[in-house]
C-alpha cells in the first residue's frame, strides 16, 4: 500500500526530482496566491488520495456487473457507491459518474437526445454560453444547429421572452440552460415551460452550481431537466470530471451515450474520488461551506461595487461574480494582468452587452481555505488597488501573499 500511504511528493522526490519540483512549485503557487478563478477549488486530501491510488491501473469498460474486462469486482463497488451517493445527493433517479469532464458530460447528453443536424437553443457564447453550447470551434457547433438567446443588456438576466420567441421560431429539439458567468440562479421552471410548449428536451448544464445545489445553497434543476450535466471539480470540490443525472426513462440512453458511444474505459480512480467527494458533500459541514461560499460572494460583490466597479446583475446569489472594471478606467484584460501580477488569479468573462470583457471571480476556493466575510472585504480592497495600478504594487503583492499563507489549503 505504499502508493497510498507514502505521500506522492516523497515518492516523486526520490524517483523523479524534476517532476517533484513541478508538483511542489504548483503547490507553492496555489498556496501563496489567491485562487479567485470561479471554476477552481481545493479537493480534499481524501479525494487526492483516491486519485493517486492503484485504481488508476484498472481497465473497466462498461458498467458495474457488466464489464468488458475481468477483475472488476472491487472497482465495481467504487462505482456503485459513487452512483448511489450522487443519486441521493441530488435526489435523482439515475446518475452516470463516468464522464471524463464537464464537456464530455455535455457531449454525452447531446448524444443521448439529439441527432446530428438537430436544432438546439442555448445561451449565446458572447453572453456566457460554454464552448459546448454551439461554438463553431467545438463539436457542438459543427454537428448541431445552434441558435443563441441573450441576456437583458440592463439587468444581465436571461430574457425569457426572447427564449420563448426563438423556441417558437426555430422549434429546437433541445434547450440548453447554463452559463459560465451568470451569478444568478437560472429560472428552471420558465425554461421547462418553454421546452414543453415546443416539445423540446431541457438540458441543464449545471457545471458551476452543482456544488451549491449539493449543499442546499442553490435551487435544484433535477425536477425540471430531462438531463442535468455537471462537473465534479468546481464548487463541488471533487476530482476533475463530469456527472450526468436523469430520470429512469432516459437512463439507458444516457449510459449508452457515455459508453460505448463517446468514451472508452472508465477512470476508476477518478470515480472513486468522485465517491469520496459526494460523501463529503453529503455532510452537514459541506452545507455550511456552500452557504458560506454564497455569503462570501455577496460581500465580495458589494465590496467591488462600493469601490466603483460595475457588478453584473448588481450582485450574486452564488459563488460567482462578474464585474466590469471600466468605471475605474481599465479594461477587463488589462485588469486581469494587473491582478495576476499582484497574485490574484482569475479570468475574464463576457458582459451583458458589447464585446468588452469583464472580470469573473469566484469564492469557492478561498472559502475552502477558511476565509470568511472579513477576508472578502479585504480581498475587494486588494483587487481594486491592483486594478487601479496605483500606489505600491509590491505592497499589494505582499498583502495578498500574507492573506493566502494565513489560510493554507492543505495545512500540515
Ligand X SMILES: *Cc1c(COP(=O)(O)O)cnc(C)c1O
* 178: contact with ligand X by CB under 6 A: yes
- Candidates 207, 244, 299, 387; binder of ligand X (CB under 6 A) is 207
* 358: contact with ligand X by CB under 6 A: no
* 83: contact with ligand X by CB under 6 A: no
Residue 240 is a catalytic residue = yes
Pick from 178, 179, 155, 175: which is nearest to 165 by CA? 175
Distance, CA of 72 to CA of 206 (rounded, Å):
31
Cα dihedral across residues 362, 366, 371, 374: positive or negative: negative
Q: Which is nearer to ligand X, 178 or 215 (CB)?
A: 178
* 103: contact with ligand X by CB under 6 A: yes
Tell me the three cell numbers of residue 295. 455569503
Phi, psi of 114 (to 5 degrees): -120, 165
> Cβ distance 184 to 316 under 8 Å?
yes
Tell me the three cell numbers of residue 352. 451583458
Catalytic residue among 13, 59, 80, 401: 59
HSE-up of residue 189 (Cα within 13 Å, Cβ side)? 1
Catalytic residue among 79, 205, 347, 375: 205
- Region near ligand X per CB under 6 A, out of 3-11, 95-103, 245-253, 392-400: 95-103
Q: Which is nearer to ligand X, 67 or 357 (CB)?
A: 357
* 231: contact with ligand X by CB under 6 A: yes
Cα dihedral across residues 40, 44, 47, 51: positive or negative: positive
Tell me the three cell numbers of residue 226. 430531462
Q: Which is nearer to ligand X, 92 or 106 (CB)?
A: 106
Distance, CA of 239 to CA of 274 (rounded, Å):
6
Distance, CA of 139 to CA of 179 (rounded, Å):
18
Q: E-strand spans in 152-304?
A: 174-177, 201-205, 227-231, 242-246
* 184: contact with ligand X by CB under 6 A: no
Q: Alpha carbon of 166 to those of 140, 195, 226, 347: distances in Å?
A: 19, 11, 20, 30
Q: Which is nearer to ligand X, 67 or 336 (CB)?
A: 336
Tell me the three cell numbers of residue 382. 486588494
* 205: contact with ligand X by CB under 6 A: yes
Pick from 376, 381, 331, 377: which is nearest to 354 by CA? 331
CB neighbours of residue 53 within 10 Å: 18
Residue 119 is a catalytic residue = no
Closest contact distance (angstroms) between CB of 80 and ligand X is 24
Residue 59 is a catalytic residue = yes
Q: Which residue is nearest to ligand X (CB)?
A: 102
Closest contact distance (angstroms) between CB of 128 and ligand X is 8
Residue 188 is a catalytic residue = no
Q: Which is nearer to ligand X, 85 or 360 (CB)?
A: 360
By CB under 6 A, the count of residues binding ligand X is 13
Residue 231 is a catalytic residue = yes
Closest contact distance (angstroms) between CB of 205 and ligand X is 4
- Region near ligand X per CB under 6 A, out of 79-87, 88-96, 98-106, 112-120: 98-106
Distance, CA of 161 to CA of 394 (rounded, Å):
49
* 145: contact with ligand X by CB under 6 A: no
Closest contact distance (angstroms) between CB of 401 and ligand X is 28
* 132: contact with ligand X by CB under 6 A: yes
* 39: contact with ligand X by CB under 6 A: yes
Helix spans in 41-144 (H):
45-51, 73-90, 102-113, 139-143
* 96: contact with ligand X by CB under 6 A: no
Distance, CA of 257 to CA of 7 (rounded, Å):
37
* 102: contact with ligand X by CB under 6 A: yes
- Region near ligand X per CB under 6 A, out of 99-107, 243-251, 307-315, 384-392: 99-107
Closest contact distance (angstroms) between CB of 56 and ligand X is 19
Catalytic residue among 58, 85, 234, 237: 234
Residue 274 is a catalytic residue = no
Residues belonging to the active site: 59, 61, 205, 231, 234, 240
* Residues lying near ligand X in the complex (CB under 6 A): 39, 101-103, 106, 130, 132, 178, 180, 205, 207-208, 231
Amino acid at each position: 500500500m505504499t502508493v497510498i500511504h507514502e505521500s506522492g511528493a516523497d515518492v516523486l522526490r526520490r524517483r523523479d526530482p524534476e517532476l517533484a519540483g513541478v508538483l511542489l512549485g504548483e503547490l507553492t503557487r496555489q498556496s501563496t496566491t489567491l485562487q479567485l478563478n470561479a471554476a477552481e477549488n481545493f479537493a480534499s486530501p481524501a479525494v487526492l488520495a483516491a486519485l493517486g491510488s492503484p485504481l488508476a491501473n484498472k481497465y473497466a469498460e462498461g458498467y458495474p456487473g457488466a464489464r468488458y474486462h475481468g477483475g472488476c469486482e472491487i472497482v465495481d463497488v467504487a462505482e456503485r457507491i459513487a452512483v448511489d451517493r450522487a443519486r441521493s445527493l441530488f435526489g435523482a433517479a439515475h446518475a452516470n459518474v463516468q464522464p471524463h469532464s464537464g464537456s464530455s458530460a455535455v457531449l454525452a447528453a447531446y448524444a443521448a437526445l439529439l441527432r446530428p443536424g438537430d436544432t438546439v437553443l442555448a445561451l449565446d457564447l458572447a453572453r456566457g454560453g460554454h464552448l459546448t453550447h454551439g461554438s463553431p470551434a467545438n463539436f457542438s457547433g459543427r454537428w448541431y444547429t445552434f441558435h443563441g438567446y441573450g441576456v437583458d443588456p440592463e439587468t444581465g438576466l436571461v430574457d425569457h421572452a426572447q427564449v420563448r420567441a426563438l423556441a417558437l421560431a426555430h422549434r429546437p429539439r433541445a434547450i440548453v440552460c447554463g452559463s459560465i458567468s451568470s451569478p444568478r440562479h437560472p429560472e428552471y421552471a420558465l425554461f421547462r415551460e418553454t421546452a414543453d410548449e415546443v416539445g423540446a428536451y431541457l438540458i441543464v448544464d449545471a457545471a458551476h452550481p452543482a456544488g451549491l445545489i449539493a449543499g442546499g445553497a442553490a435551487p435544484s434543476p433535477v425536477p425540471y431537466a430531462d438531463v442535468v450535466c455537471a462537473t465534479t471539480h468546481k464548487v463541488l470540490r471533487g476530482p476533475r470530471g463530469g456527472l450526468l443525472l436523469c430520470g429512469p426513462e432516459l437512463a439507458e440512453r444516457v449510459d449508452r451515450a457515455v459508453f460505448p458511444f463517446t468514451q472508452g474505459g472508465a477512470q476508476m480512480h477518478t470515480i472513486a474520488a468522485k465517491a469520496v467527494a459526494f460523501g463529503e458533500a453529503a455532510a452537514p459541514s459541506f452545507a455550511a461551506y456552500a452557504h458560506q461560499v454564497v455569503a462570501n460572494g455577496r460581500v465580495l460583490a458589494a465590496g467591488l461595487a462600493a469601490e466603483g466597479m460595475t457588478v453584473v446583475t448588481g450582485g450574486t446569489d452564488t459563488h460567482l461574480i462578474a464585474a466590469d472594471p471600466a468605471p475605474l478606467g481599465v479594461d477587463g484584460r488589462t485588469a486581469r494582468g494587473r491582478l495576476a501580477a499582484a497574485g490574484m488569479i482569475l479570468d475574464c468573462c463576457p458582459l451583458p452587452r458589447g464585446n468588452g470583457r469583464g472580470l469573473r471571480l469566484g469564492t469557492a476556493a478561498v472559502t475552502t481555505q477558511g476565509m470568511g466575510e472579513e477576508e472578502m472585504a479585504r480581498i475587494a480592497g486588494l483587487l481594486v488597488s491592483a486594478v487601479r495600478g496605483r500606489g505600491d504594487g509590491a505592497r499589494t503583492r505582499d498583502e495578498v501573499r500574507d492573506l493566502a499563507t494565513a489560510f493554507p489549503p492543505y495545512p500540515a
